[in-house]
Homo-oligomer: A and B are copies of this chain.
């Protein structure tokens, strides 16, 4: 009887289930979820509007509902081992979100504990920029690298820095704010209250500001003169650059020049193997990459020359954070 129980075969379906984790990327606009396998393949996706319900408890409830739906829809074929969450305003140590500027709550919400209680799976939280760096390191171009940085060029400029194999967080979990290093003394006003921060020049918004400046300074005919600041997108600018618009081309050149110049600081401080560019603005490809590389080469001192490459992230700009958040679970010592 006892022996029988030991040798009783498990149902075939249970044996065949694919081990997966859920990666969640909380953004100011939408919160994305994905079911991800060990190789970083995204097997299923869902999303909800981050602001669909107000308050921390409601937001956690939305996360749990979306997660449960994803789990139940695939429960016959997939077993979920845990949930990794990339989020702004993240207190990684305590698994909480605190003082978020763009989320539907400002109070401190112990997301890890609340989701674990409701879903009964291990949950880990990580800063959004760090999640993207982890994703690049685990599944992208930085695979196997011990020292690299990932810069996410979107509305602002986020960054994750991997030093000797570990994402650095600093003394209060605030490290890696490359977007708030200064590139022009007393330069453009930044949302942080300071002036001349890199992200006021190098980001989708920074690029638009540069276009406005060029339209003010020059007389070149440009399709961009018919666009308002609010309606102008990085995509418009890439299209204009491709059509030969001199203002759009110069805006990308100035932006890449600023980025390459400032990347040299990052190189001499961290001596990384590579720097990866992700986010919406990175979709501009060579329009951004080429002037960035040229400026890097020009401003790098001899002993560092040729040691650090700049690449575009080869993960979809949308997916690095999802994959990185998921990697937290794959790397849990208990799995």
Contact A192–B301 (Cβ < 8 Å): yes
Contact A164–B174 (Cβ < 8 Å): no
Contact A175–B269 (Cβ < 8 Å): yes
Contact A307–B171 (Cβ < 8 Å): yes
A259-275 interface with B by 8 A CB criterion: 261, 264-266, 268-273
Task: Out of B168, B172, B175, B301, name the residue touching A194 (CB < 8 Å).
Answer: B301
Given contacts A182-B261, A302-B192, A271 and B166 within 8 Å (CB-CB): no
1/0 per residue A185-196: CB within 8 Å of B?
Answer: 100001011100
Contact A181–B265 (Cβ < 8 Å): yes
Contact A177–B268 (Cβ < 8 Å): yes
**A194 partner residues in chain B, CB cutoff 8 A:** 299-301
Residue among A176, A190, A270, A304 with most chain B CB within 10 A: A270
A75-119 interface with B by 8 A CB criterion: none
Residue of B nearest to A170 (CB): B271
A190-214 interface with B by 8 A CB criterion: 190, 192-194, 197
**A180 beta carbon closer than 8 Å to chain B:** yes
Residue of B nearest to A181 (CB): B265
Residue of B nearest to A179 (CB): B268
**A284 beta carbon closer than 8 Å to chain B:** no
**A215 beta carbon closer than 8 Å to chain B:** no
Apart from A147-B171, A180-B301, A192-B301, what are 15 other A-B pairs with CB-CB below 8 Å? Answer: A163-B163, A163-B170, A172-B271, A174-B268, A174-B271, A174-B304, A174-B307, A175-B270, A178-B269, A182-B264, A185-B261, A194-B301, A197-B301, A265-B265, A269-B269
Q: A residues near B, CB below 8 A?
A: 146-147, 161, 163-164, 166, 168-178, 180-182, 185, 190, 192-194, 197, 261, 264-266, 268-273, 299-304, 307-308
List 3 tightest A-B contacts by C-beta distance, closest first.
A170-B271, A177-B268, A192-B301
